[in-house]
Amino acid sequence: MTTILVGGVGKADVARRLEEVGGFDVVVTNDMDAATRLMAGQADYYVGTCHTGAGGSLGVLVGLLGAARCFTFGRGQATAADAEAALAEGRVAFGFSIDQADQVVPILAGAISERRRNG
């Protein structure tokens, strides 16, 4: 099963939304623990939230994993194409503003599920 680590200011809400989608092992954590788990291969993805969507949700992850493995949805309209492209590029840590959770979570969860189905 795909393990998604969830952190940031809206971690409880995002975790609940991911659990409602189903099909994932969702673990609420913090950004430092998430980076460590991802580097050790103990999880598949990290989803972090902040108040602005400008990158605070991924600060530690960018520092430890590198920018090439992280993706922020920023303040624009999130699309499935954005999520699919980020996954295809090997990104494993995703960030967005907490007020975008209702938009981003289903898009990202769908892209992760599709990628898992198609190997």
Query: Whole-model pTM?
Result: 0.95
SS3 content of the chain, % helix, strand, coil (to 5): 55, 20, 25
57-103 residue pLDDT tens: 788 999 999 999 999 987 778 999 999 999 999 999 999 999 999 99
Q: Is the pLDDT of residue 119 over 70?
A: no
| DSSP-based three-state secondary structure for 23 | coil
Residue 55: which region, alpha, beta or left (left: phi > 0; alpha: psi -120 to 50)? left
Mean pLDDT to the nearest integer, 15-38: 96
